[in-house]
Amino acid sequence: MPIGSPTVGEAELAAVAEVFRSGWLAGSGPTCRRFEERFARAVGVRHALATSSCGTALHLGLRVLGVARADEVIVADYTFLATAHAVVHAGATPVFVDVRGDTGTVDPDAVAAAVTSRTVGIIAVDVAGQPADYDELAAVARRHGLWLFEDAACAAGATYRGRPAGSLADLAAFSFHGRKGITAGEGGALVSDREELIERARRLHSYGIVPAIERESATGLPVPGCEEAGYNYRLSDVQAAIMTAQLDRLPGLLASRRAVAERYREGFADLPGVTPAVELPDREHAWQAYHLTVACGEERDRIATRLRERGIGCGFGTYACHLQPVYGSDRHLPVSARLLATRLAIPMHANLTGAEVDRVIGEVRSAVAGSP
Ligand SMILES: *Cc1c(COP(=O)(O)O)cnc(C)c1O
């Protein structure tokens, strides 16, 4: 039983067949444009740019926000490494801050305490698909004149106080990697209400020139001007077609994941030493992953070994970035370090049956009880 699994089928195949017939397979074409418009509406913003990954969307976002050498960017520590790597790729220094013990999302007080004269902005992470504390974070950002960036990699379809994930900061980045809630295998998006940011990112993601689709409608043969050395960070139109079908499925996928989370919550409610995942009352979790919290690290590892022996996929949740050799940070971030040691990710995807969920619950319960 895998820990994650995509939901793809005939609708995605039909969408791909249509792109094949259209002849436009490269990125930034008509299918991408249609997807971008629909995705922007779905996440409650005015503009979206489809990208090759969330990592490239984060990098583009930092570039258009003007991040440069000597800048410090405050980064939520408990996240996938891509969040911090983007800061390094932009030439700046990530300053890791600690997180809440219940949700794993960044602690707004810790963010406020980490601001220095070199700080330019904050990257918050919607951990496993649950939005961070954006009202408090926006207040800190306003007070210090910083920008706020939402890493919504796992959060398509989540909400915070009635607003969709993706609309909660100056910019947001999504991932369409195979392990996320909606997927084209690989892919991502950068979204914002600020047109100038997305339009500059659009050129940067296409080697620094206007995408081919815009040149096609020009009169004559104007040579595009390039003002900045850009990248190829495009999502192909083949992937965009898959994403359009995935977007149609999103409400159903969210409902299936929510049902799994409900069943897990009931199944683990009375289990000593194991805490079910927390969903705060003012937000809707997208349930990209389901993290149990186990009382101590050795016990977590013991349960994990047992689940694997029984063919049930599991994982450690996500990373405490400051503990990775590449960051070798001497900051003391005890909550993030504890979550790394005690969280146990168990199967969570939209294809799980009730019987499979019950089997996971049963195996975790017998592992805790120490029964053979
Ligand atoms: C998966 C993930 C990423 C990276 O996404 P890619 O599309 O693989 O680049 C970044 N941040 C978070 C929080 C993630 O979970």
pLDDT at 328 (0 to 100): 84
Does residue 143 carry a pLDDT above 80? yes
> 4-35, pLDDT tens digit by residue?
999 999 999 999 999 999 999 999 999 999 99
Strands (E), 47-158: 47-51, 72-76, 93-97, 119-125, 147-151
Does residue 114 carry a pLDDT above 80? yes
Residue 54 Cα to ligand 1 midpoint, Å, equals 5
Q: Give the fold, CATH level 3, of 10-247.
A: Aspartate Aminotransferase; domain 2 (3.40.640)
Does residue 236 carry a pLDDT above 70? yes
Q: Whose CA is nearest to atom 6 of ligand 1?
A: 54
Domain locations in the chain as residue ranges: 10-247, 250-369
Dist CA 240 CA 186 (whole Å): 10
Q: Which atom of ligand 1 is nearest to the CA of 288?
A: 15
Tell me the mean pLDDT in the region 182-207.
Answer: 98
Per annotation, catalytic residue among 180, 291, 306, 343: 180
Q: Whose CA is nearest to atom 5 of ligand 1?
A: 54
Does residue 320 carry a pLDDT above 70? yes
Residue 184: which pLDDT band, with cuts at 50, 70 and 90? very high
pLDDT at 233 (0 to 100): 98
pLDDT at 361 (0 to 100): 98
Does residue 206 carry a pLDDT above 80? yes
Q: Is the CB of 151 under 6 A from ligand 1?
A: yes
Q: Which homologous superfamily does the CATH classification assign to the domain defined by 250-369? A: Aspartate Aminotransferase, domain 1 (3.90.1150.10)
Q: Is the CB of 105 under 6 A from ligand 1?
A: no
Q: For a pocket test of ligand 1, which of 51, 177, 239, 318 has the largest count of ligand atoms closer than 8 A to its C-beta?
A: 177
Q: Is the CB of 188 under 6 A from ligand 1?
A: yes
180 given a catalytic annotation: yes
Burial class (CB in 10 A: 0-12, 13-18, 19+), 144: middle
Tell me the mean pLDDT in the region 214-218.
Answer: 81
- CA 80 from centre of chain: 9
Question: Could you tell me what percentage of the chain is helix, strand and coil, using 3-state DSSP and rounding each to the nearest 5?
Answer: 40, 15, 40
Residue 129 Cα to ligand 1 midpoint, Å, equals 11
Residue 223 Cα to ligand 1 midpoint, Å, equals 36
Q: Is the CB of 78 under 6 A from ligand 1?
A: no
Dist CA 356 CA 372 (whole Å): 20
pLDDT at 372 (0 to 100): 65
Q: Is the CB of 152 under 6 A from ligand 1?
A: no
Does residue 339 carry a pLDDT above 80? yes
Tell me the mean pLDDT in the region 333-362.
Answer: 98
* HSE value, Cβ hemisphere, 13 Å, CA-based, for 110: 24
Does residue 219 carry a pLDDT above 90? no
Residue 21 Cα to ligand 1 midpoint, Å, equals 32
Q: For a pocket test of ligand 1, which of 49, 51, 54 has the largest count of ligand atoms closer than 8 A to its C-beta?
A: 54
Q: How far is CA 155 from CA 101, 181, 250, 357, in A?
A: 19, 8, 11, 22
Dist CA 307 CA 149 (whole Å): 37
Q: Is the CB of 322 under 6 A from ligand 1?
A: no
Tell me the mean pLDDT in the region 53-69.
Answer: 97
pLDDT at 217 (0 to 100): 79
Structure tokens at 237: 């139109």
Q: For a pocket test of ligand 1, which of 75, 83, 99, 291 has the largest count of ligand atoms closer than 8 A to its C-beta?
A: 83
Q: Is the CB of 133 under 6 A from ligand 1?
A: no
pLDDT at 172 (0 to 100): 99
